[in-house]
Chain A
Amino acid sequence: MGKTTPDRGAYVSRVRDDTQRYASELLRENQRLRTALASAMHDNTLLREAAERARGEIEAMRAGEERMLKALDRAEEENRRFVSRYVEVEQENSNLANLYVASYRLHGTLDRREVLDVIQEIVTNLIGCEEIAIFETDPDGAAVTLVHSCGIDPRAHDKVCLGEGLIGQAVASGEAYIAGAGATAPTEAGVTACIPLKLGDRVTGAIALFRLLPQKAELGALDRELFELLGAHAATALYCSGLEAHLAAAGA
């Protein structure tokens, strides 16, 4: 039996010590990793919770943003409605102002010549037509005679019998003739519109409009209101100016 040599004993002892030291280091490293893992897991939990909270906040913000966008859309829509209404109201105001001006001008004088000029000015400036004829009913009521014209050949419309053509028909019926929508070009005898002048139910004459101004696309709602106003107020103004002239002549 050989005895253990000192070299072998020292070698075994060294290996055992190294192994113990290595095992000890491994245990320490293991412990350090356990601690790090526990810390990481804790951090992970915290981050998950934070992420969950952030997700909730983002969702709430998205819902808020959606609500705000919808509110903005509603506000923009309302704004568009207000602008559109503003333009409508402005147009209505302007139309009313035109009706006021027409009435004011017609009743602003008792001079027959001036009344006829005012009718022409109203037709030119407020309706948009420079070709106009104004007729008055003959005493026997069988025809109307031209008393004022502009932009047309007066010889072609000197006298119109009741029921004859668009002008005669409008005078006979007491109903205004207005060319259909989009009709800028005149129809029969070049007439675009004919408005009977009426004192109550009695037709005292008519205003005929021929070609409209090139930029006037068509006769609209305001034109129809002006025709109604002219039908009554121009008739009254002409009647009053005639009466004034008669009284002046009688006085003289």
Chain B
Amino acid sequence: MQKKKILVVDDSKTALLVESMVLRKGPYELVTASDGVEAVEKAITERPDLILMDVMMPRMGGFEACQALRQREDTQAIPIIMVTTRGEAANVETGFVSGCSDYVTKPINAVELLAKVRDHLGA
């Protein structure tokens, strides 16, 4: 069975490492990016099945990258889970307006993250 591909985007190497260790527990192939610009590029070339994206990043933030991906025909259907340090309603609302499918808050809860990823990928 072909592994589902997940693009993990975060400018923090610590966060990337934590998220990758959690996701490696599942049958997933991981690709990483360190900001929004690189995320959009890799989403186009790698065609991931899901994107896990931090909100606050240099060059291009998560919300902006999310909007850019939603405007492209070849990436608009990819589920995007935003990773935010701010779990307030207003911030979550901004995320959904920008087109994200779901969100998780930092610090990452491994069980919750895996459950949401499985939910969106169906695997």
Contact = CB atoms under 8 A, between A and B. Distances in A.
B67 interface: no
Interface string B65-99: 00000000000000000000111100000000000
Interface size on B, as a range, is 20 to 34
Contact of B18 (A87, A91, A97): A97
A94 interface: yes
A90 B110 CA distance: 8
Given A214-B88, A215-B87, A128 B110 contact: no
Interface string B1-34: 0000000000011110110011001000000000
B107 A127 contact: yes
B15 A125 contact: yes
A184 interface: no
Contacts of B21: 97, 100-101
Q: Which of A90, A125, A215 has the most CB of B within 10 A?
A: A125
Interface string B39-78: 0000000000000000000000000000000000000000
A124 interface: yes
Interface in A91-139: 91, 93-94, 97-98, 100-102, 104-105, 118, 121-122, 124-128, 130
A41 interface: no
Contacts of A124: 12, 85, 106
B18 A125 contact: yes
Given A97-B22, A121-B13, A121-B14, A213 B110 contact: no
A105 B14 contact: yes
B22 A128 contact: no
A87 B111 contact: yes
Contacts of A48: none
Contacts of B101: none
Across the A-B interface, the 3 shortest Cβ-Cβ residue pairs: A94-B110, A215-B87, A121-B14
16 contacts: A93-B110, A94-B110, A97-B18, A101-B14, A104-B17, A105-B17, A121-B13, A124-B12, A124-B85, A125-B12, A125-B18, A125-B108, A213-B85, A213-B86, A213-B105, A214-B88
Interface of B: 12-15, 17-18, 21-22, 25, 85-88, 105-111
